[in-house]
C-alpha cells in the first residue's frame, strides 16, 4: 500500500507575511492576525493564546488582544511564499501534492526506503524545511492523505506521528467530527449525537449516502480511514522565469529598461517554445541594498517583449512628483526578474488569418500613447456607486480590470437624481454664492440656508470672478458621508443652480466654502 506523508506548517498565512517582509517590521512573537472581509482568517500562536479565533470579527479580536497587529489577508502571498518550500521538498521527495498553502502531501514509499524508514525520511524533510527558515513544521504519516494530515496535527514541533499501516480507522475514531471541515455536515452530525469520527464511521455506508448525499458519503469514507481520492502529484513547473543582474547596479530607469530587453525577449521566446503566452506577469526589481519590490502586471491580450520592457520601466518610474518623475526605487537596481503569473496556450490567443482583430490594434495604439505619457496617462472610465458625481466615476489605467472604486449595488440614499452632469470637476473648483444683499450664503447645522442664493460665480472658470444672477435653484441636500473616518468624512450640502444664461451647475458648500462639483453643460 502506498503510504502518504503530510507536511503541515501551522499558521502558514502569518508565516508567509513574516517571510515576505511586506513592509511591516513584526517583532518576534508579536500577536498577528490576518483579516478577510473583516473577519480573522489566520492568526499567530501568541494571538491564539489571547483568545483570538478564526472567524472572529476585528473588533472582538482586538478586544481580546489589544496589541494585535492587524493585516489584510492576501491569498496570492500564501501561495507564492509556499512555492519555495514545495520546491525544497521536491528535491528530497519528488511527486508532491500541494493540498493548500502550508500543507502538502508526498508518497513516502521511495524516500522511506532511501532514508531507511518512514520516520527517518520525515526527520530529513523536517530538517530541510528548518534550513529554509520554517521552524514550526509537523509531519504525519498514514495510509492516506486525510489520516496523515490528522496525524500531522497531533505531532509536536519538528516531529512526526506515524499511524501504522491498516490502523487509520482506529486512529481517526477518537477525533471529533469537526476535523472533517464541512461546517453544515458537522453541525448536523453533532445534533444527531455523532460527536466522533468513530461514531460516524459506524453508520452503514448506504444509509449515509441516502441521508447525506455524495459529499456526506465521501466524508464517511474519510472517517472510516478509506481515502481513495486520487493522489495528484504536481509536475514541477518548467523554468519559465527569467532573471537579469546588473553589475554595476544601474540607477537610471531608462538604462534598466534598455538592458532588460534581451531578457524580456528570452522570456517570451521561452514561453513560445512551449506554445504558451503570458497574460499576467510579476516583475521583481532588486536593488543593491537588498530590497525587492514586486508588482503584478496584467495585459488585456498577452505580453510581447516590448510590453514587458514598458512594464519594467513603469514600475521603476513612480508617479510624476515634484520636479519630474521620481524613481520608485530608492537605490540602484541590481537585478530584474520576470515571473509568469498566468499563462495560456497560444492557440487561445492566435491571430486571425487576416491579421489581428481591431482590439489588438486599439491596444497597440493605447500602449503607444502610454509609452509617451506614462502608464497612468491613458485611462478607462467606469461608472460605480456613490453620491457625488466624482465618486461615481472611477478612472483605471488602461489595461487594468474595469472595476469601480465603489460598487453600484448598495443603495446610495441621497444620491443625485438623473440627469447626470456631463462635466465633473475632480477636484471641485472654488465658487462664490451670495444672497440678495451680497451676503455670503451659508447652510446651518440643521440644514437650512441663511439666505436664498441670488448670485453665483465660479472662480477660475471662463466666467472669471463675475457673478451671474440665479434663475432657479434647489437645495440644500445634506451629505454626511463616512463620518466614522476623520480623514475621509464629508459633511456638506449640495445645490443645483441654473443661471440666467441657462447654464446649470452642481454646487457644494462645506464649512461655508463653496465649490463647483459639476456642470450640466
Partner 1 sequence: MEGPTQVRDHLPALPALAQVVPGGLLRGAAYEVNGSLALALAVAAGPSSKGAWCAVVGVPEIGAEAAEAFGVALDRTILVPAPGEHWPHVVSTLADVTDVIVVRPPASVRDVEAQRIVARLRQHATTLLALTPDAGAWPRPAGRLEVTESSWTGLGAGHGHLGRRQITVTATGRWGRPHRTRLWLDAGVEPAAPSDTLAPVASSDTLAPVASSDTLAPAFPAETVPALDLVRVAS
Instruction: Report the interface residues with partner 1, using CB under 8 A.
Output: 358, 361-362, 364-366, 368-369, 372-373, 377-383, 389, 392-393, 395, 398, 402, 416-426, 435-437, 439, 446-452, 454, 462, 469, 471-478, 496, 498, 500, 502-504, 518, 520-521
Give the nearest distance from C-beta 453 to partner 1 in angstroms: 9
Nearer to partner 1, 350 or 383 (CB): 383
392 contacts 385 by C-beta, under 8 angstroms: yes
As a whole number of angstroms, the distance between CA 342 and CA 474 comes to 53
Name the residue nearer to partner 1 (CB basis): 101 or 421. Answer: 421
Would you state the cell numbers that stand for residue 331, as one nine-digit string? 537605490
Closest distance to partner 1 from the beta carbon of 417 (Å): 5
Q: Least distance from C-beta 302 to partner 1, angstroms?
A: 19
Containing 315, the helix (H) or strand (E) segment is helix 305-316
- Tell me if residue 477 falls in helix, strand or coil: strand
Helix (H) or strand (E) holding 47: helix 45-49
Residue whose C-alpha is closest to residue 111's, from 139, 130, 131, 81? 139
Sign of CA dihedral 343, 346, 348, 352: positive
Q: Other CB atoms closer than 10 Å to residue 227's CB: what's the count?
A: 19
Query: Minimum CB separation from partner 1 for residue 431, in Å?
Result: 15
How far apart, in whole angstroms, are the C-alpha atoms of residue 240 and residue 256? 21
Compute the least distance from the CB of residue 342 to partner 1, in Å: 21
Q: Which is nearer to partner 1, 157 or 436 (CB)?
A: 436
List the grid coordinates of 309: 520592457
CB of 478 to partner 1, least distance (A): 6
State in Å, rounded, how far the first CA of the chain is from the last one.
Answer: 78
DSSP 415: P
Smallest distance from partner 1 to CB 350, Å: 21
Residue 513 CB, nearest approach to partner 1 (Å): 19
Q: Which residue reads 462635466 in cell numbers?
A: 423
Measured from the CB atom, the residue of 185 and 506 that comes closer to partner 1 is 506
**286 vs 293: CA distance, rounded Å:** 7
Q: Between residues 213 and 438, which has the closer beta carbon with respect to partner 1?
A: 438
In terms of CB distance, is 181 or 511 closer to partner 1?
511
Residue 156 or 372: which CB sits closer to partner 1?
372
DSSP string, 278-290: EEEEEEEEEETTS
Q: Nearest to residue 206, comparing CAs of 195, 198, 214?
A: 214
Could you tell me where the DSSP H helices lie in 156-278? 168-173, 183-191, 197-201, 205-223, 253-259, 261-273
> Of 339 and 441, which CB lies nearer to partner 1 in the complex structure?
441
Is the Cβ of residue 395 or residue 513 nearer to partner 1 in the bound state?
Answer: 395
Which lies closer to partner 1 via its Cβ, residue 26 or residue 451?
451
Three cell numbers, residue 389: 458625481
Judged by beta carbon, residue 24 or residue 383, the one nearer partner 1 is 383
Instruction: Tell me the C-alpha to C-alpha distance, in Å, between residue 470 and each of 3, 357, 455, 473.
Output: 85, 52, 5, 7
The order of strands in the sheet holding 333-345 is: 242-250, 333-345, 276-287, 292-298
CB of 488 to partner 1, least distance (A): 21
Q: Closest distance between partner 1 and the C-beta of residue 510, in Å?
A: 15
- SS3 (DSSP) at 351: coil
Query: To the nearest whole angstrom, how small is the minimum distance from the Cβ of residue 314 to partner 1?
Result: 16
Q: Rounded distance, CA 16 to CA 10, Å?
A: 11
Amino acid at each position: 500500500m502506498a503510504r502518504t506523508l503530510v507536511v503541515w506548517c501551522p499558521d502558514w498565512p502569518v508565516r508567509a507575511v513574516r517571510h515576505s517582509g511586506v513592509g511591516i517590521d513584526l517583532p518576534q512573537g508579536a500577536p498577528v492576525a490576518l483579516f478577510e472581509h473583516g473577519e480573522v482568517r489566520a492568526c499567530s500562536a501568541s494571538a491564539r493564546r489571547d483568545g483570538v479565533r478564526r472567524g472572529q470579527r476585528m473588533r472582538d479580536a482586538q478586544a481580546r488582544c489589544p496589541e494585535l497587529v492587524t493585516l489584510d489577508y492576501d491569498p496570492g502571498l500564501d501561495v507564492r511564499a509556499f512555492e519555495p518550500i514545495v520546491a525544497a521538498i521536491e528535491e528530497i521527495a519528488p511527486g508532491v501534492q500541494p493540498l493548500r498553502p502550508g500543507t502538502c502531501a508526498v508518497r513516502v514509499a521511495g524516500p522511506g526506503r532511501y532514508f531507511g524508514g518512514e520516520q527517518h525520511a520525515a526527520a530529513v524533510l523536517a530538517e530541510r524545511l528548518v534550513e529554509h527558515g520554517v521552524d514550526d513544521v509537523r509531519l504525519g504519516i498514514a495510509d492516506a492523505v486525510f489520516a496523515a494530515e490528522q496525524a500531522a496535527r497531533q505531532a509536536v514541533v519538528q516531529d512526526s506521528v506515524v499511524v501504522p499501516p491498516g490502523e487509520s480507522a482506529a486512529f481517526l475514531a477518537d477525533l471529533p467530527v469537526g476535523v472533517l471541515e464541512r461546517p453544515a455536515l458537522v453541525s448536523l452530525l453533532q445534533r444527531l449525537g455523532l460527536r466522533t469520527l468513530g461514531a460516524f464511521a459506524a453508520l452503514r455506508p448506504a444509509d449515509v449516502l441516502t441521508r447525506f448525499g455524495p459529499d456526506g458519503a465521501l466524508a464517511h469514507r474519510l472517517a472510516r480511514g478509506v481515502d481513495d481520492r486520487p493522489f495528484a502529484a504536481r509536475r514541477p513547473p518548467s523554468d519559465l522565469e527569467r532573471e537579469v543582474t546588473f553589475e554595476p547596479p544601474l540607477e537610471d530607469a531608462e538604462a534598466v529598461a534598455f538592458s532588460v530587453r534581451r531578457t524580456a525577449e528570452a522570456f517570451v521566446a521561452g514561453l513560445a517554445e512551449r506554445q504558451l503566452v503570458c497574460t499576467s506577469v510579476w516583475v521583481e526589481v532588486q536593488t543593491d541594498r537588498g530590497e525587492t519590490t514586486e508588482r503584478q502586471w496584467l495585459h488585456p491580450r498577452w505580453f510581447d517583449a516590448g510590453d514587458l520592457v514598458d512594464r519594467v520601466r513603469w514600475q521603476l518610474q513612480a508617479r510624476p512628483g515634484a520636479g519630474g518623475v521620481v524613481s520608485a526605487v530608492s537605490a540602484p537596481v541590481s537585478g530584474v526578474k520576470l515571473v509568469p503569473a498566468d499563462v495560456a496556450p497560444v492557440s487561445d490567443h492566435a491571430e486571425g488569418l487576416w491579421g489581428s482583430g481591431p482590439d489588438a490594434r486599439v491596444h497597440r495604439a493605447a500602449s503607444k500613447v502610454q509609452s509617451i505619457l506614462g502608464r497612468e496617462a491613458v485611462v478607462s472610465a467606469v461608472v460605480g456607486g456613490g453620491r457625488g458625481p466624482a465618486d461615481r466615476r472611477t478612472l483605471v489605467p488602461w489595461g487594468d480590470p474595469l472595476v469601480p472604486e465603489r460598487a453600484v449595488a448598495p443603495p446610495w440614499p441621497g444620491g443625485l437624481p438623473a440627469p447626470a452632469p456631463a462635466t465633473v470637476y475632480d477636484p471641485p473648483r472654488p465658487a462664490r454664492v451670495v444672497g440678495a444683499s451680497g451676503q455670503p450664503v451659508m447652510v446651518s447645522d440643521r440644514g437650512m440656508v441663511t439666505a436664498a442664493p441670488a448670485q453665483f460665480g465660479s472662480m477660475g472658470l471662463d466666467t472669471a470672478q463675475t457673478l451671474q444672477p440665479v434663475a432657479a435653484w434647489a437645495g440644500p441636500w445634506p451629505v454626511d458621508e463616512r463620518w466614522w473616518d476623520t480623514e475621509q468624512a464629508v459633511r456638506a450640502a449640495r445645490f443645483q443652480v441654473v443661471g440666467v444664461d441657462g447654464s446649470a451647475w452642481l454646487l457644494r458648500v462645506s464649512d461655508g466654502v463653496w465649490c463647483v462639483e459639476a456642470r450640466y453643460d
